[in-house]
Amino acid sequence: MEIVDLRGKAWRFDERLEYLANRGEILTEEYEERVKEIIRNVRERGDEALIEYTKRFDGLELTPDTLEVPYEELENAYEELDERVKEALEIAEERIRVFHEKQLENSFFKEEEGIILGQKVLPLERVGVYVPGGKAAYPSTVLMNVVPAVVAGVEEIVMVSPKPNRYTLAAAYIAGVSRVFQVGGAQAVAALAYGTDSIPRVDKIVGPGNIYVALAKKLLFGVVDIDMVAGPSEILVIADESADPSWVAADLLSQAEHDELSAAILLTPSEGFAKKVRDELNRMLDSLERREIAKKSIERFGTAFVVEDLFHACEVANFIAPEHLEVVTAEPMSLLPYIKHAGAIFLGRYSPEALGDYVLGPNHTLPTGRTARFFSPLGVYDFIKRSSVIYVSKEGFDRVADLAEVIAKAEGLSAHALSVRIRMEE
């Protein structure tokens, strides 16, 4: 882990900080043309292209009849779960559901003299959920992406995942997924966006994935709605000397083990504390099952920035706008008013990011790569749409018609003005 001193300098221009802030752009251009080709093939050839790519990338021999996982397999996976795992997933589902029920929006109407105005809130009809698969199991991703859609009232939830295992399928059963297809990558995203003979076209695609998945979602935005363009995972910890260096090191590694492009960042006013965290992190690395991935992540992006004080730390954190932000200080609540940009904020020494990944309730699908400046965590609001409702009586029309005509003429839109004037002359 590299240690960089930001004290007494124009820190926004620091080379290491700039490198971390822009890491999401790495390899984008190299992969984009490949993703465009995959999208084009799936759009033109449908299931045939999907089956070819699944064999090439995932080593899975499929036919149009075996693309979909029979629903009975979801139920069987659930029934065969170890009871402790089943209980944990069910409690997690309940906590996620209860939290997201607070986000529900209601339709509303307001009436004035001769005018009724309102907003009608409706769930999307069909959404697609992408869940990474292959060697890893991500039942938590299933719960976090599906439960808000269920709470919103989405009619049909279509999940795609390459080689989904029993934990993923069981979570799909618990969460309320409608259909599961064992395909992944950019090809699965394209299939959801355009539809094929086997996979229905959806209105929105949510869920994390590798760079192929992220780029496919980005390129298909407009054809279909998406939650966000998610990049590699990241964690930023603000800590002072009251924190335990080994706890902080473990929290940093919890994201480094995700991906070689993941970033683990520490902000602290104490250079001595930064060195202790670095030493603890190096000591723990060799004991990790995913140590090779974590090592590469730490080597490329692991950084401890020494700052002037905790307020300076908040300023730097706002610039980075991290996906996960932990505040492990003597008085963590006191810093909350100064934090503007973060996907999720974890306050206090007993609030490791890993708890948020699984059982607390708030969503773990979060904005990455500085997009927390304008994106929010996934929520019920991502699965609804709003329609304006307008009723105007003759009395109401007479109150506002001349104003509309004046503005229409000012804009030079004579047909707009005519559509109002013709009623005024009735």
**Residues noted as catalytic:** 323-324
CA-based nearest residue to 73, from 184, 166, 199: 166
CA-based nearest residue to 2, from 15, 11, 12: 15
Q: How many residues does the chain have?
A: 426
Q: Do strands 156-160 and 126-130 pair parallel, antiparallel, or not at all (unpaired)? A: parallel
Q: Give Cβ neighbours of residue 268 (< 8 Å, ≥ 6 apart).
A: 238, 239, 240, 274, 277, 304, 305, 306, 307, 313
Q: Could you tell me the two tokens for 394? A: 């003759």
CA-based nearest residue to 378, from 96, 24, 16: 96
3-class SS at 425? coil
Strand partners, 265: 236, 303
- In 22-85, the DSSP E strands lie at 68-69
Distance CA 133, CA 130 (A): 9
* H or E segment to which residue 347 belongs: strand 344-347
Q: How many CB atoms lie within 10 A of CB 142?
A: 29
- What are residue 387's phi and psi, to 5 degrees? -120, 135
Q: What is the DSSP letter of 221?
A: B
Question: How far separated are the first and last CA of the chain, in Å rounded?
Answer: 77
Amino acid identity, position 32: E
